[in-house]
Structure 1
Amino acid sequence: MADTNYDVIVLGSGPGGYVAAIRCAQLGLKTAIVERELLGGICLNWGCIPTKALLRSAEILHYAQHAKDYGLKIAGKIEADLEAVVKRSRGVAKQLNQGVTHLMKKNKIAVHMGEGTLTGPTSLTVKGEKGEEKLTAKHVIVATGARARDLPFAKADGKRVWTYRHAMTPKEMPKKLLVIGSGAIGIEFASFYNDMGCDVTVVEMLDRVVPVEDKDVSAFLEKSLTKQGMTIMTGAGVDDLKVTDKGVRAKIKDSKGKVSETEFSHCITAIGIVPNTENVGLEKLADMDRGFIQIDDYGRTKSKGLWAIGDCTPGPWLAHKASHEGVTTAEAIAKELGNKDVHPHPLDRANIPGCTYCHPQIASVGLTEAKAKEAGYEVKAGTFPFIGNGKAIALGEAEGFVKTVFDAKTGELLGAHMVGAEVTEMIQGFVVGKTLETTEAELMQTVFPHPTISESMHESVLASYGRALHI
């Protein structure tokens, strides 16, 4: 009979759950993880990672089609093999899934595959291949994640109406694609399919694309995507969507209130997420708000011994936020179980970066200029364009800019916003700066290597204080 009593059981094995389990094991706690589908959860198998593989294929295609801009000739027709692109993406996901399986073994974490349901704050049943198992623990961490929200009048069917999951393994290339929602997921798929040669229309209810970003970034991205051939409709909504034999017929109300009917071959809905908190047994054990589990700064729910992390708790709903919470919660549990050497720190939401892997990329951390002013700060903000950066010009990637926002009184870095090549790899410089509570003085004194695109980060800080050198 397998052991069924643990120090910690983690329900869900996404980037929050599996990281929490590893940290618990590192701290000497007897740990188990319960997963109903694939180790690594949505992020590794159906989200962040395989989408980056798809986007990389689209990027290579884009470069190949523009080879002559770099003085190169490619003979013959360049075209995408959709099946091979998807196969590569699935291979990447499989490799990472196997990596998590290995990490579970290495850290001696018991894996129970099946559907977990809480029977109390620290007990649950798992229905899986082995029938029903009853597990108990001193502490349970709920990390059940979230799923795509459906349109009330057009449920995703996988044929014509897709969620991100269907969009990752398309059976056919859409000819004319409607993307509803311009958050990270919507805009990444719009970018992928546009690069792959599809006619793409994006409909966004709010007055600008990527609405959580700084308005300068939104404006730049809209211009860039339009130039790439996309149709962008902001302040617009889809009133109705009918699936037909040939595709979907959408009634779209534009920003002036005019309704028009348009035919598309396929539609991707990217209008937000719904937490996976139904039928888990949480009803009496945790306080909920619109399905999200309410927690304190360390992941505690109202029931002693029951904790929650990641996308089933309040946002931002990002994989790296879930992983960070996983470590914090694991350390808080170890401390409760008598470990005097751990010192958990609550998550500072102001220091969580956001990245969108469209073409051009977007990355940001902290407050936008508008939000900083709303919060009562007197601000100094500066922007530096990539056209003033030698490396960006040499790469043929001179589209983009870096913008920084400072508190005029103290010099505190309040936010940083970037759009352009490789900005998702550069944002971390500002995240480290914010975590270290940096001011403009330290950033100005930092020597940035030349030639790199990262020099534009330095220049944007200088620009905030009227000191930019290369513009």
Structure 2
Amino acid sequence: MSDNKFDLVVIGGGPGGYVAAIRASQLGLRTAVVEKAEMGGICLNWGCIPTKALLRSADVLRLIKDAKGFGISAGAPTADLGAIVKRSRDVSTQLQRGVAGLMKKHGIQIFKGHARLSGKGSVKVQQEQTEVTLSAAHIILATGARARVLPGMEPDGKHYWTYREALVPKSVPKRLVIIGAGAIGIEFASFYHALGAEVSVIEMADRILPVEDEEISAHVAQSLTREGIKLYTSTSLKSSKVTGGSVELQIEGKSAQTLQADVVLVAAGIVGNVEDLGLEKTKVKVERTHVVVDEYCQTGEPNVYAIGDLAGAPWLAHKASHEGVICVEKIAGLKPHSLNARNVPACTYSHPQVASVGFTEAQAVAAGKKVRVGKFPFAANGKAIAMGATGGFVKTVFDAGTGELLGAHMVGEEVTEMIQGYAIARGLETTEAELIESILPHPTMSEAMHEAVLAAYGRVLHI
């Protein structure tokens, strides 16, 4: 067999691509991955992982500031930005090495360079000194996405940032304006505010975190506003210009206003990396910068597939990984379940944290369902009181007729670690009967999850 002949070539080594390659290797497929940057993709190197490292530092800073409330005496804490950023980058480097080790363990060949489709079953890889042609029975596109750049606000590392620049700041801006109040924007708002920046967030929608349940969004907005973060919703950006060493922004919402910023962070969505992939002479269809696929990630071109952010929403690393497994198992002749996007949990690691899965209450009602809704506050949870983490609540949405768990929504301390319980319940098609009969450990914050189920059926115990 030729060294460059494979059963599968994966273009992109992010959480979708490298997981697809590992699963393919497990199933006996000779596999290669082409990656032009770092293994692990944006998530591991410039997204999910390094942002969580930064946010953890912010959490530690908050805890030290609140130490007196726990009976601990501590001096006034100071943040060493250089050390915080270094720790974040070190975490990414460690995991990147881990991914490289997994590739070696599974016998997956890595080609460093830019890949393009070059005919049926053929991929050309442009490397630094040469061009290599790979042949494969199947090809998976996993090239991910990048930050949307607004005209006139191209990242310059000084006045205009995307998430990349925000991850490696040389200093904390005194005045930071964030364009976009989705998960990325709100996470960076929490981080930079904790480090002392004056933070303002501009959002065109009528609320922050617009894809989340309305009650969750409202709670987060109240919390951020209470901390001193300024939120401008139902607001559009009319103009932006650098003048006198700072950025002047004209915004229009309830009224026209002018904001001054040292740095503007653009977090206004993403666009798929579809350019220069050799798609022009194929039947691969692209809509709004994303590749169109069927339920098993097959494109319009035979034996060419697309997964992850490239294949559209939800733009989440765990969705990409799951799609990679589904796609490879289908290629290998197994019978995997197709992806149910409603069962993909979403997490925002702001302060407070947000986690959700399934329908929001409004979505369920709009779908014509009669619902039963239960809510339970962490202020009534013993572990939360002991932890000093009483802010937030758990909300459940059930089908009033069948008892199906339609959705679950949480806001509060470490709720991102708890949403998996409801995600599993959704995957198992669990009803209220099984959830009510479940026994959760005491004392834990997860007890609020059980109480929120009970509340939907008039059986709540602790409020």
Aligning the two structures, in what range does the TM-score lie when normalised by the shorter sequence? over 0.9
1:283 Cα offset (Å): 2.4
Q: Cα RMSD between the aligned structures?
A: 1.1
The answer for the alignment partner of 2:327 in structure 1 is: 329
Q: Is the 8 A contact 1:121 1:303 kept in 2?
A: no
1:281 partner amino acid: G
Structure 2 distance, partners of 1:121, 1:317, is: 29
1:244 Cα offset (Å): 3.1
2:280 partner amino acid: E
SS in 2 for 1:120: coil
The answer for the alignment partner of 1:260 in structure 2 is: 257
Deviations 1:341-393 (A, max 9, x none): x3211111110000000001000000000000000000000110000100000
1:153 Cα offset (Å): 2.9
Tell me which of 272, 275, 285 is aligned to 1:275.
Answer: 272
1:130 Cα offset (Å): 4.1
The answer for the alignment partner of 2:461 in structure 1 is: 469
The answer for the alignment partner of 1:338 in structure 2 is: none
The answer for the alignment partner of 2:144 in structure 1 is: 145
The answer for the alignment partner of 1:298 in structure 2 is: 296
Deviations 1:98-142 (A, max 9, x none): 000000000000000001111124211111134110111000000
Structure 1 distance, partners of 2:380, 2:360, is: 23
The answer for the alignment partner of 1:348 in structure 2 is: 340
Aligned identity (percent) is 55
Deviations 1:187-234 (A, max 9, x none): 000010011111100111000000000000000000000111100111
The answer for the alignment partner of 1:175 in structure 2 is: 174
Structure 2 distance, partners of 1:261, 1:389, is: 44
Which aligned pairs between 1:192-211 and structure 2 lie closer than 5 A? 192-211=191-210
Structure 1 distance, partners of 2:91, 2:168, is: 13
Q: Is the 8 A contact 1:117 1:279 kept in 2?
A: yes
Structure 2 distance, partners of 1:262, 1:330, is: 50
Moved over 6 A (4+): none
The answer for the alignment partner of 1:78 in structure 2 is: 77
1:159 Cα offset (Å): 1.3
The answer for the alignment partner of 2:183 in structure 1 is: 184
Structure 2 distance, partners of 1:218, 1:357, is: 14
SS in 2 for 1:467: coil
1:10 partner amino acid: V
The answer for the alignment partner of 1:430 in structure 2 is: 422
Deviations 1:23-51 (A, max 9, x none): 00000000000000000000000000010
The answer for the alignment partner of 1:313 in structure 2 is: 311
Structure 2 distance, partners of 1:316, 1:278, is: 21
SS in 2 for 1:363: strand
Q: Is the 8 A contact 1:14 1:44 kept in 2?
A: yes
TM-score normalised by structure 2 residue count: 0.98
Deviations 1:306-330 (A, max 9, x none): 1110001121111000000000011
Question: Runs of 5+ in structure 2 lacking a partner?
Answer: none
Count of equivalent residues: 462
Q: Is the 8 A contact 2:172 2:196 kept in 1?
A: no
1:172 Cα offset (Å): 1.4
Structure 2 distance, partners of 1:369, 1:410, is: 16
1:5 partner amino acid: K
1:412 Cα offset (Å): 0.2
The answer for the alignment partner of 1:417 in structure 2 is: 409
1:69 Cα offset (Å): 1.1
Q: Is the 8 A contact 1:162 1:266 kept in 2?
A: yes
1:169 partner amino acid: V
The answer for the alignment partner of 1:33 in structure 2 is: 33
Structure 1 distance, partners of 2:186, 2:459, is: 35
Structure 2 distance, partners of 1:93, 1:305, is: 33
Q: Is the 8 A contact 1:148 1:163 kept in 2?
A: yes
1:68 partner amino acid: K
1:280 Cα offset (Å): 0.7
The answer for the alignment partner of 1:397 in structure 2 is: 389
1:290 Cα offset (Å): 1.1
1:89 Cα offset (Å): 0.1
Structure 2 distance, partners of 1:389, 1:234, is: 32
Structure 2 distance, partners of 1:315, 1:68, is: 44
The answer for the alignment partner of 1:5 in structure 2 is: 5
TM-score normalised by structure 1 residue count: 0.97
Residues 1:17 and 2:17 are matched in the alignment: yes
Structure 1 distance, partners of 2:365, 2:200, is: 33
Structure 2 distance, partners of 1:130, 1:328, is: 35
1:245 Cα offset (Å): 4.6
1:395 Cα offset (Å): 0.2
Question: Runs of 5+ in structure 1 lacking a partner?
Answer: 336-341
Q: Is the 8 A contact 1:121 1:306 kept in 2?
A: no
Structure 2 distance, partners of 1:159, 1:408, is: 53
1:300 partner amino acid: Q
Q: Is the 8 A contact 2:46 2:164 kept in 1?
A: yes
